[in-house]
Amino acid sequence: MQHYKPAAHKIWLYGLAGTVWLGVGVMLAVFSSRWLKPIALSSMLLLILAGIALAVPIYYFGFSKLARKNIRRIGAYAKERVCLFAFQEWKSYPLVAFMVSLGIYLRSYSALPKPLLAVLYLGIGGGIFSASLHYFAHILGFFKHEV
């Protein structure tokens, strides 16, 4: 019996990875905005700045390196058409499941105040969102070379 793997050209893997990362970054920012909405403007601005300040090292030391690693890994595939789920390393899927579970726990069951959680979500979301741009920049560079 032959198993079917949804295959796509590598360019679609870059696009899918960038879109997923961008979507997660936006989703985390939306959660943060809901939690910050009822707070006074001056406090809200300080918390947003704290989230941005947290996003910079998360992007620089974490997600930007991971995005570049994924871009190199996808580019190194020998075949032009690869399994669509290979946009992320297979060993990364359990980590993603853990992070999603931790996020659900933190926002649903944790005693952490939502404004503090908003800073964390903005930091992680901002880092992921910023790193997603690596995928799109790679796609644009890819098409430049194709012309």
134-143, long-range: CB < 8 A, 24+ apart: 134/18, 134/64, 134/67, 134/68, 134/71, 135/14, 135/15, 135/17, 135/18, 135/21, 135/67, 135/70, 135/71, 136/15, 136/18, 138/14, 138/71, 139/11, 139/14, 139/15, 139/18, 142/11, 142/14
Residues 100-131: tens digit of each pLDDT: 999 999 999 999 999 999 999 999 999 999 99
Whole-prediction pTM? 0.87
pLDDT tier for residue 145 given thresholds of 50, 70 and 90: low
1 has pLDDT over 90: no
Q: What is the pLDDT of residues 29-59, one digit of tens each?
A: 999 999 999 999 999 999 999 999 999 999 9
